[in-house]
């Protein structure tokens, strides 16, 4: 009996293939298919620490998470059987008390006999009996005695058929359901777990742990839930991520290929962008009017983690929109995948408030030094399907001693698209693009003042390659400061003014500044023959090797007021506070606003 469950008959797989590919799809399930859904009284899942590859004569421990799905507190009794005899297996603890939805971890220990030839499988069966009514559940575990494979491939999944919500009103969604049937398989190491979000019981979830042949699973949920997220894990830590959305299953099931093509867009990695508004679905994800979050890594974040080590990334999540409850999760996008623990999975954030979300990352030892891993952090509203994502790059090389500020430069500035007749600046926006780059250690945070939603252009935290971000501030905002900081705390910024056009192509040795001031021009004329008037553009030709700094300009405007020479001044580190005595004279004059027009023509430090 156990072997018939474990070894899926090949003729049954062939029949499924033939029915799925050659015959027109007939819905295998309809509304009200509860008889097919799993009735397991316990959810039993293996953890990543489980040892499912054990050589003959060796001992392995399987760590199982057991959750009470029943509606009452109860005592559960555990026992374990094996096809190699009872003397080689044990379970601890043998008796536990579990409340409703309570979860514990138990350990199954197996000693593989020395006379088992390599490659022969050992089949364990964990039995659980509920004390209040003697109801029984079981979960099989496959122990492989072959050498542990080198598997970096995620499991395979494909949709076989699905039903849609089409015969219900908005008030009756809870009494109707929709469902989908998937084939899931991992032919290399074998499947460890299949999880769903929201957590639901599904037919096929009690597949033998470690199975490396096909598993057919049936997911069903009410029509109030528009989508199901599916997480599939194999024994080597590879993960697959899929989303099945009832509003995407919009084609008639008469054509399998069209339906399959329509659904396969949900394959990982996120972010996933579902269609616009639908029944009960809220606004579309990616709409910045719906999810307005600014996500940056804090200075305490560890973006350089050695293989096999554990590090922590602290994300500062700021809500720029209305009060809402957000849910957080993180997935490893690249291979091999890191083990991720999200400390805060749900939080209510008021408007303009910021909270820290901690991610604890454990890198596998199979990562070679210098390899980069990418984590996708996903934040979504609790009561809708709206969410946004933020990528994080983890580097396994040694953290460099980088003291160079990032490069921040303006690529282009657009014009306001507000309708002039309305007279309302809030009806329009003006776009501009900024390139941010740090070739050494990578960018840790990118912020604007005032805060501007970034749109869907994703900024990768920790990336040391070029990141181009497009901002679209309201026409009521004329100037925006964009500031970038790297993982060593070095920072740089640029100010974008929509009324100041970008500079045209200049000669190599020329710098252009604009002085918006009514200060006397006679001081400047001592050093430049060109007269300075209010709002005029002044061309300055510096010496061959001397750079024009802020101190140079201030000295021209106030001769003798600043004593620091250009050779002593450090570009980008103009500590005016140290010049208190000189600045007291400078501040006595009328205020001077220095606008570096055309920041894209300057180097980073000069900007």
- 262-310 per-position pLDDT tens digit: 333 333 333 333 333 333 333 333 333 467 888 888 888 999 998 888 8
pLDDT band at residue 422 using 50, 70 and 90 as cut-offs = low
Give CA angle at 421 (416, 422), nearest 5°. 80
Section 319-340 average pLDDT: 82
Q: With 50 as the cut, is the pLDDT of residue 189 above it?
A: yes
Predicted local confidence at residue 420, as pLDDT: 60
526 exposed, middle or buried (CB, 10 Å; 0-12, 13-18, 19+)?
exposed
Q: With 90 as the cut, is the pLDDT of residue 53 above it?
A: yes
Ranked by mean pLDDT, the top range of 17-26, 138-147, 534-543 is 138-147
Percent of the chain surpassing pLDDT 70: 65
Predicted local confidence at residue 234, as pLDDT: 93
The C-alpha atoms of residue 57 and residue 294 are separated, in whole angstroms, by: 54
Lowest mean pLDDT among 104-118, 209-223, 364-378, 591-605: 591-605
Predicted local confidence at residue 61, as pLDDT: 92
> In whole numbers, what is the pLDDT of the chain averaged over residues?
70
Section 158-177 average pLDDT: 74
pTM to 2 decimals?
Answer: 0.41
Predicted local confidence at residue 556, as pLDDT: 55
Section 149-175 average pLDDT: 77
More confident residue, 304 or 468: 304
Predicted local confidence at residue 63, as pLDDT: 93
Section 86-102 average pLDDT: 87
Predicted local confidence at residue 383, as pLDDT: 66
Structural domains in the chain? 39-148 (2.60.40.10), 400-499 (2.60.40), 511-601 (no CATH)
pLDDT band at residue 502 using 50, 70 and 90 as cut-offs = low
How confident is the model over 230-255, as pLDDT tens digits?
899 999 888 888 888 776 653 333 33
More confident residue, 490 or 576: 490
CA dihedral sign, ordered 266, 271, 276, 281: positive
Lowest mean pLDDT among 394-408, 492-506, 547-561: 547-561
The C-alpha atoms of residue 45 and residue 65 are separated, in whole angstroms, by: 5
The C-alpha atoms of residue 376 and residue 390 are separated, in whole angstroms, by: 6
pLDDT band at residue 371 using 50, 70 and 90 as cut-offs = confident
Retrieve residue 322's tokens: 């209305």
pLDDT band at residue 148 using 50, 70 and 90 as cut-offs = confident
The C-alpha atoms of residue 536 and residue 552 are separated, in whole angstroms, by: 18
Q: With 90 as the cut, is the pLDDT of residue 487 above it?
A: no
Predicted local confidence at residue 200, as pLDDT: 87
Predicted local confidence at residue 476, as pLDDT: 86
Close Cβ partners of 207 (under 8 Å, ≥ 6 residues apart): 191, 194, 215, 217
More confident residue, 515 or 67: 67
The C-alpha atoms of residue 366 and residue 333 are separated, in whole angstroms, by: 16
Predicted local confidence at residue 593, as pLDDT: 45
Predicted local confidence at residue 220, as pLDDT: 86
pLDDT band at residue 551 using 50, 70 and 90 as cut-offs = low
More confident residue, 216 or 366: 216
Section 431-441 average pLDDT: 84
Q: With 50 as the cut, is the pLDDT of residue 552 above it?
A: yes
Q: With 90 as the cut, is the pLDDT of residue 127 above it?
A: yes
CB of 107 closer than 8 Å to CB of 96: no
Lowest mean pLDDT among 79-83, 203-207, 561-565: 561-565
The residue among 214, 201, 267, 264 whose CA lies nearest residue 239 is: 267
How confident is the model over 522-538, as pLDDT tens digits?
333 333 334 444 444 44
Please report, for residues 11, 46, 136, 202, 412, the alpha-carbon distance to residue 2 in angstroms, rounded to integers and kept in the order given. Answer: 18, 19, 16, 21, 67
More confident residue, 421 or 72: 72
Predicted local confidence at residue 474, as pLDDT: 85
Predicted local confidence at residue 522, as pLDDT: 32
Section 557-561 average pLDDT: 49
Predicted local confidence at residue 130, as pLDDT: 92
Predicted local confidence at residue 144, as pLDDT: 92
């Amino acid at each position: 009996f156990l072997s018939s469950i474990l070894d899926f008959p090949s003729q049954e797989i062939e029949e499924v293939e033939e029915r799925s590919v050659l015959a027109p799809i007939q819905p295998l399930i309809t509304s009200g298919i509860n008889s097919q859904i799993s009735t397991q009284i316990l959810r039993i899942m293996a953890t990543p620490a489980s040892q499912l590859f054990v050589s003959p004569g060796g001992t392995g421990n399987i760590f199982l998470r057991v959750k009470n799905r029943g509606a009452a507190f109860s005592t559960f009794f555990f026992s374990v059987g094996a096809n190699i005899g009872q003397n080689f297996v044990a379970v601890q603890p043998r008796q536990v008390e579990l409340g409703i939805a309570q979860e514990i971890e138990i350990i199954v220990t197996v000693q593989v006999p020395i006379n088992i030839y390599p490659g022969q499988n050992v089949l364990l069966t964990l039995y659980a009996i509920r004390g209040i009514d003697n109801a029984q559940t079981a979960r099989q575990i496959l122990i492989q005695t072959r050498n542990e494979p080198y598997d970096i491939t995620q499991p395979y999944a494909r949709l076989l058929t699905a039903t849609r919500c089409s015969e219900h009103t908005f008030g009756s969604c809870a009494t109707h359901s929709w469902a989908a049937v998937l084939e899931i398989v991992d032919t290399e190491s074998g499947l460890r777990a299949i999880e769903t979000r929201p957590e639901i019981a599904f037919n096929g979830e009690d597949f033998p742990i470690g199975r490396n042949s096909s598993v057919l699973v049936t997911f069903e949920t009410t029509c109030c839930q528009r989508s199901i997220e599916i997480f599939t894990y194999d024994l080597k830590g590879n993960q697959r991520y899929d989303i099945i959305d009832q509003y995407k299953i919009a084609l008639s099931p008469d054509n399998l290929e069209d339906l399959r093509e329509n659904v396969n867009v949900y394959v990982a990695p996120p972010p996933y962008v579902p269609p616009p508004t639908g029944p009960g679905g809220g606004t579309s994800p990616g709409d910045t009017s719906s999810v307005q979050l600014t996500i940056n890594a804090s200075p305490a974040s560890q973006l350089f983690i050695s293989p096999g080590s554990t590090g922590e990334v602290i994300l500062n999540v700021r809500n720029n929109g209305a009060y809402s409850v957000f849910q957080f999760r993180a997935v490893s996008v690249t291979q091999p995948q890191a083990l991720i623990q999200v400390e805060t999975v749900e939080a209510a954030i008021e408007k303009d408030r910021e909270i820290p979300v901690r991610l604890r990352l454990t890198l596998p030892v199979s990562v070679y030094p210098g390899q980069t891993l990418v984590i996708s952090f996903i934040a979504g509203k609790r009561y809708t399907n709206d969410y946004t994502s933020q990528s994080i790059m983890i580097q396994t090389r040694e953290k460099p001693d980088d003291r160079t500020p990032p490069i921040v430069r303006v690529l282009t500035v657009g014009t306001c698209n507000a309708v002039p007749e309305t007279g309302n600046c809030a009806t329009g926006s003006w776009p501009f693009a900024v390139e941010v780059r740090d070739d050494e250690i990578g960018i840790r945070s990118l912020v604007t003042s005032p805060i501007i939603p970034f749109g869907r252009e994703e900024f990768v935290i920790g990336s040391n390659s070029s990141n181009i971000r497009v901002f679209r501030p309201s026409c009521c905002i004329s100037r925006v400061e964009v500031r970038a900081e790297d993982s060593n705390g070095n920072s740089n910024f640029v100010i974008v003014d929509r009324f100041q056009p970008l500079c045209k192509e200049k000669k190599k040795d020329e710098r252009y500044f604009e002085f918006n001031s009514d200060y006397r021009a006679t001081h400047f004329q001592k050093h430049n023959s060109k007269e300075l008037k209010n709002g005029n553009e002044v061309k300055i030709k510096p010496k061959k090797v001397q750079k024009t700094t802020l101190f140079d300009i201030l000295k021209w405007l106030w001769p003798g007021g600043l004593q620091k020479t250009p050779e002593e001044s450090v570009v980008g580190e103009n500590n005016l506070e140290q010049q208190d005595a000189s600045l007291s004279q400078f501040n006595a004059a009328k205020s001077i606003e220095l606008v570096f027009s055309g920041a894209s023509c300057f180097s980073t430090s000069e900007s």
